[in-house]
Structure 1
Amino acid sequence: MYPFKYHKAATVRGAVAILKKAEEPKLLAGGQTLIPTMKQRLASPKALVDLAGAGLSGIEQKGRTIVIGAMTTHAEVANSPVVQAAIPALAKLAGHIGDPQVRHRGTIGGSIANNDPAADYPAALMALGATVHTNKRKLAAEEFFAGLFSTALDEDEIVTKVAFPVPGKAGYVKFPNPASRYAIVGVFVAKKGRAVRVAVTGAGSDGVFRHEAMEEALGKRFNPKSLDGIATPAGNLNGDIHASADYRAHLIGVIAKRAVAAAA
């Protein structure tokens, strides 16, 4: 690990001020990705701005919306009675991220800002139609995620909270890597009224994506059998040592049916 200066921000405004003044700064949320990459010398920021004291954690329900602060840990989301009652699929998703140590340190804001193509939360945001709030603006999930490890965030922009509309039904199932627990394929299905949204993580060569053919079929009849015969082209999918693109294409169909069954 290379030397760096450590700053602990007391407010979001204070964090932004440090970002503007510090040399080559990086924001530190849970540190579950940044710290390991720094240890391996794959990342070498000259300053870290810790958001732990910036007042960005907490969960509350506002009408038919669940609002989760950016520094809320995965364990807090998983164990929240509010989330469990309103969007149990989201609580289940959070409860199966990594291991207990990761869940008690990793945060929802850090996860989505990193936008790992195999992370779980991006699928939830896309399927539930969530809105990402920053210190500058509000972004729909489709606007926020911009490709592998890329988002629409500016250099001095900080995720402050995520707002999730409460669906009528929702389900998330993933086929995890047995070591990392990252999704080789994960599918989040959400139904609100007659509208259905299906988001796939772990498989896309450009990160999380919505599966329009499945959405159309499930919009007509919300049943796992409605997905029979719907193939996912392998051309735009990842292939690596864990699973080929063709295998991931097959898994999407299998996992999607399980997600629909879980939602129902």
Structure 2
Amino acid sequence: MKAAPFAYVRPGSLDDVLAELAGGDGKVLAGGQSLVPVLAMRLGRPATLVDIGSVASLGDLAVTDEVLRVGATVRQRRLERSAEAAAVPLIGMAMPFVGHRELRSRGTVCGSLAHADPAAELPAVAACLEATIEVAGPDGRRRVPAGAFFVGAMTTGASAQEVVTAVEFPVARPGEGHGFGEIARRHGDFALAGVVTRVRVGDDGAVLDARLTGFGVSDTPVTRDVTSIVDDGDALADLAREVVDTGGDSHGSTGYRRRLFRVLAARELARALRAARKERT
């Protein structure tokens, strides 16, 4: 199939982007790796594509002592290969699993967040790290915690008149370790089940805080505090039954995905714990 007819504009400023989106019938185009297939299958029929590629202020990639800031037009491949990404180890762990290299060369980090595919890796990383997503609209800018940004499959808290301008990932702290794992039919496919973990330990190696985010298992990334069950296999099995609520399909039943989740959770929590304790030594 081919996309339904649409108008195309390429504004040079954020104000002009918002003016084009004011009618509510436009759609933001950044990398296009998620949007173009949707248009080709006519699952979406926007009247206007608003290309944000010429807005210079949206291309920032910078790291401070507190956060890694990624602008809306930063390509995934640019972030993957950047020195700045080292401040957030989960970026380096997850990025090779995001589609294929060719797609990452065009796709944007914020575009993946805005698309909100429940089986995508970057929304899960953002949720696990408690990243902040910056959104601009007719009423100004607002900052949304990642946990509140994803409200359903392919659905976010941003309105049709708003645009995601940046995401801020907190940098790793001393005594912090991470894990990332997923199972897919082929490399580059969306995950049948995936897990992102973050563990923090004290000077004595005791667990202070542990978070786990599952993806590909529900309508949104699902995050839980697992501080008390980091190495409790039975509790992780109970967690899998609670978290994995996606229906079965030709690629795997709900029960199969729960088994995948349980194994991945145990493995990636153990990996994160080892990394955190090693960082303390």
TM-score (norm 2): 0.84
What's the % identity of the aligned pairs? 30
C-alpha separation in 1, matches of 2:184 and 2:82: 23
Query: What is the number of equivalent residue pairs in this alignment?
Result: 253
2:248 is matched with which residue: 235, 239, 242?
239
C-alpha separation in 2, matches of 1:137 and 1:30: 23
Q: Deviations over 1:100-144 (max 9, x none)?
A: 111111111111111001110111111111111112200011111
The residue that corresponds to 1:203 in the other structure is: 217
Output the amino acid matched with 1:14.
D
C-alpha separation in 2, matches of 1:75 and 1:18: 28
Output the amino acid matched with 1:203.
V
The residue that corresponds to 2:27 in the other structure is: 26
Output the amino acid matched with 2:36.
I
Whether 2:264 is the aligned partner of 1:259: answer no
The residue that corresponds to 2:103 in the other structure is: 102
- 1:72-221 alignment, distance < 5 Å: 72-83=74-85, 85-135=86-136, 136-167=141-172, 168-178=176-186, 180-192=188-200, 194-204=208-218, 206-212=219-225, 214-218=226-230
What's the C-alpha RMSD, in Å, of the aligned pairs?
Answer: 1.8
| C-alpha contact 1:109 1:161 (8 A) present in aligned 2 | yes
C-alpha separation in 2, matches of 1:143 and 1:2: 32
Q: Structure 1: where are the runs of 5+ without partners?
A: 219-225
The residue that corresponds to 2:68 in the other structure is: 66
The residue that corresponds to 1:250 in the other structure is: 259
Deviation of 1:181 (Å):
2.0
Deviation of 1:179 (Å):
6.3
- Does the residue aligned with 1:216 lie in a helix, a strand or coil? helix
C-alpha separation in 2, matches of 1:238 and 1:128: 27
C-alpha separation in 1, matches of 2:18 and 2:46: 16
C-alpha separation in 2, matches of 1:233 and 1:128: 23
- Does the residue aligned with 1:233 lie in a helix, a strand or coil? helix
- Cα gap change, 1:242 to 1:215, in 2 (>3 Å): farther
- Does the residue aligned with 2:59 lie in a helix, a strand or coil? coil
- Cα gap change, 1:94 to 1:42, in 2 (>3 Å): same
| C-alpha contact 1:97 1:120 (8 A) present in aligned 2 | yes
- Does the residue aligned with 1:153 lie in a helix, a strand or coil? coil
C-alpha separation in 2, matches of 1:122 and 1:16: 24
| C-alpha contact 1:26 1:45 (8 A) present in aligned 2 | yes
Output the amino acid matched with 1:183.
A
C-alpha separation in 1, matches of 2:4 and 2:20: 20
Consecutive aligned runs of 4 or more in structure 1 exceeding 6 Å deviation: none
- Cα gap change, 1:238 to 1:154, in 2 (>3 Å): same
C-alpha separation in 1, matches of 2:124 and 2:268: 12
Output the amino acid matched with 1:169.
G
1:11 is matched with which residue: 10, 13, 24?
13
Deviation of 1:29 (Å):
1.5
C-alpha separation in 2, matches of 1:38 and 1:60: 32
C-alpha separation in 2, matches of 1:177 and 1:57: 34
| C-alpha contact 2:25 2:160 (8 A) present in aligned 1 | no
- Cα gap change, 1:241 to 1:215, in 2 (>3 Å): farther
Deviation of 1:180 (Å):
4.6
TM-score (norm 1): 0.89
| C-alpha contact 1:87 1:170 (8 A) present in aligned 2 | no
| C-alpha contact 1:227 1:253 (8 A) present in aligned 2 | no
C-alpha separation in 1, matches of 2:190 and 2:151: 20
